[in-house]
Every structure is written in structure tokens, then in C-alpha cells.
Amino acid sequence: SRLAALCLFLLHCQLAVVPCAIGDSCNPLSISLLFQSPARAPQLTGIVLGASASIDLHRPDGSFQAALFPGEAPEIVSADQQNREIYWSSAASLYLRRGAFSGGGVTNVISGYNVGGGVLDNTTNLLYFTDNTAGTVYRAERDGSSPVLLGTPGDSPQAPFVWGSYLYFPRKDALFWLDSEEVTVAAPGNMFIAIPDPLGRQIFYSIAASGVFVSGTEPGAVPVYLTGSGTPFGIAIDPYTGHLFYREGAILYRCSIRGDECISLHSGLTGSGIALQFDRP
């Protein structure tokens, strides 16, 4: 038993019980050790960046790979890792669209709203989106049908995300969460984007003219400065390698999740929005 415990600790073994009794001659302990590799974390395969006239796929090192959705001019870009789809919105063009990780398959999900971002809740298969101009928040079916008004918080809500039983969205003066039409301040700041890391431990913020900030997850959290000096028009987290990606001006940066060790991956960017692709959810 000590050998088995040591094996599990050092070599990530898996115990398999042999189908025979303790006293049988097949094995005095009725146990065999089957060695297998540790579970592998999802690996980053691509960085999706919104441009002024396309949505482009870049390699993890920042180099350009391909135009995924030519002709698009997104403002907010997000990734649905489970369904391997990219969502993007344009308040100016009144739509929310999605397409496959590999490009193509573009679907117009929401039309007629000044959409400031949308998110699919994979647990309920319901879609949430905001109207930037009207200051409203909606829920709809995955295909965009049957939109239901959830609340009117005002002041340009956008980039919603679902966390537990609450819907979060940044506004010009704070991050809010919405529950049963009640709007509650979660964290203060003039926010363009707020995102949780995929492991659900922290919230990262793009705060206008101030850079990237981070806080805990509890309402009333105070964002703490990480890096940057302008308005990041897109932030994304790879928690498996501990990397923060953000774009400020025309430059794409990669930093440690602590906000240091920053390097420029790509320059000459136009447009806004960033999302990451992993090889599995």
C-alpha cells in the first residue's frame, strides 16, 4: 500500500483492482499498477483579434495566421470554448454574430439592437446580450429568438458574462451584477470590458485610460492595477500557463497573470476585441 501511495504521488499512477480474491494465487494483494500520463491542461492554439475590416486568427506567438471572418468590424469579441465558436458584436451595425473557430458558418444571432456584447450560458443554453444605447439587458434563446428584457441599468452596459447564478456586465461607472431585475454594484471603475478567468478565481478589467486591473470575485471588490496605461480594447486570460493577453493601441501584449514580464507579440493592429482558442474546453 505504501508503494501504491508513493506511485500515485510521484508518478500519477492509477490503481486497478484485479478481479480475484485476496487469497487467490493470481495476486496476493489483488492490485496492479497501471501507469498513465497526468491529465493535460488545455493548450492555447490561437489568438482571435478584431480588425477594422476582418476578424483574424493569430498564432500563440502573435504572428498572423489567417482571416477567419473577412468583412467584419467587431467591437467586442468572445469565445465559447465548449461549442468552439466565436461571438462578436457591433453596436454601430446593430448585430451580434457567431462563427466557427475555424472560420465560416457565420450566423446572425441578434439584429436591431445596439449590441454591446453577448454570452451563451452553456448550462442553460440561453444567450444574454446588452443594448449599449438603450441601456438594457436581455435574455434570449441560443438562436436569438424570444428576447426577454431583464433590466434597464442604463449608461452603456456591455460585454456580459455569467458567473454562478448572476449575470455580470461592465458599465461606464462600475461592474454590476443582475439578479431578478435587481442591479447591484460588484466593483467600481470606468470599464470597457470585464472578464473572469476561465478557472473562476479572479475578474480582470479594462478601465478607460488606466490599463488592466484585477480583483477577486465577491461583490464590493476593489480592482487593483496590473499593467498598461491606455484603454485596453480587449483582454483575455490563459490560466493554464498563467498569461494575460491584452491589446492597447495598435499593440498586442502578453504578460504574466501578475501583470509583469510583458512582451509585445504583434504591432500595427486596427479595430478592437480579443479572444483565445484552446484545443479543448
pLDDT tens-digit series, residues 176-230: 887 756 678 788 888 888 998 888 789 999 998 999 999 988 777 889 999 999 9
State the Cα–Cα distance between residues 241 and 246, nearest whole angstrom.
Answer: 15
Backbone dihedral region for residue 71 (phi beyond 0: left; psi -120 to 50: alpha; all else: beta): left
Residue 57: is its pLDDT beyond 80?
yes
Percent helix, percent strand, percent coil in the chain, to nearest 5: 5, 50, 45
Check residue 221 and give its pLDDT: 84
State the Cα–Cα distance between residues 165 and 47, nearest whole angstrom.
Answer: 29
Dihedral, CA atoms, 153, 157, 160, 162, nearest 10 degrees? -20
Residue 93: is its pLDDT beyond 90?
no
Q: Are 116 and 159 in contact (CB under 8 A)?
A: yes
Residue 25: is its pLDDT beyond 60?
no
| Residue 73, C-beta contacts closer than 8 angstroms, at least 6 positions apart | 50, 51, 52, 53, 90, 92, 93, 271
> pLDDT tens digits for 100-143?
999 999 999 999 999 999 999 999 999 999 998 899 999 999 99
Q: Are 207 and 214 in contact (CB under 8 A)?
A: no
Number of other residues whose CB lies within 10 A of the CB of residue 177? 21
Q: Are 68 and 99 in contact (CB under 8 A)?
A: yes
Helix, coil or strand: residue 6: helix
Number of other residues whose CB lies within 10 A of the CB of residue 103? 16
The reply to whether the predicted model has a pTM over 0.85 is no
Residue 277: is its pLDDT beyond 60?
yes
pLDDT greater at residue 280 or residue 8: 280
Check residue 137 and give its pLDDT: 93
Q: Which ranges constitute the DSSP H helices of the chain?
A: 2-11
State the Cα–Cα distance between residues 95 and 87, nearest whole angstrom.
Answer: 11
Residue that the C-alpha cell 480592482 belongs to: 223
State the Cα–Cα distance between residues 191 and 171, nearest whole angstrom.
Answer: 6
Write down the mean pLDDT value for the chain: 85
Region 140-156: mean pLDDT is 91
> pLDDT tens digits for 231-254?
999 999 999 999 999 999 999 999
Backbone dihedral region for residue 25 (phi beyond 0: left; psi -120 to 50: alpha; all else: beta): alpha
Check residue 38 and give its pLDDT: 59
State the Cα–Cα distance between residues 209 and 191, nearest whole angstrom.
Answer: 10
Q: Which of 87-91, 167-171, 258-262 has the highest mean predicted lDDT (pLDDT)?
A: 258-262
Region 88-106: mean pLDDT is 92
